[in-house]
Amino acid sequence: MIAPDATLGINPLSMATLRVARPTDDLASVVSFYRDGLGLQFIDRFEDHAGLDGVMLGFRGAPYHLEFTRHRRVTVGQAPSEDNLLVFHVPNR
């Protein structure tokens, strides 16, 4: 559950939200890329929920987050096509 963020004056519970969920076989590497590489914040995680482990990354108080899951008994392998993309436009410092 994402708590209201008083610093931004945003209550995500009162607006539409976007959740992008993707499976992975390597949860640690995905977290490292999005958190350490792109600067997304750790929001929450879960373990062994119906055989799934997962982590949510984004920015606290924002109306969106990414959720990555790893199924303990299933290998998801590669994306079905090269067009299975998640695109970020990151400003050049």
More confident residue, 77 or 24: 24
Per-residue confidence band for 15, with pLDDT thresholds at 50, 70 and 90? low
The CATH class of 16-71 is alpha beta
pTM over 0.75: no
Q: pLDDT of 28-76, one tens digit each?
A: 999 999 999 999 999 999 999 999 999 999 998 888 899 999 999 999 8
Q: Which amino acid, one-letter code, is at 83?
A: D
**59: Cα within 13 Å, side-chain hemisphere:** 7
Asked if pLDDT for residue 8 goes beyond 60, the answer is no
Beta strands 18-23 and 64-71, pairing class: parallel
Asked if pLDDT for residue 2 goes beyond 50, the answer is no
User: In this predicted structure, what is the pLDDT of residue 14?
Assistant: 65
Asked if pLDDT for residue 77 goes beyond 90, the answer is no
**Interatomic CA distance for residues 63 and 11, integer angstroms:** 9
Average pLDDT over residues 5-13: 53
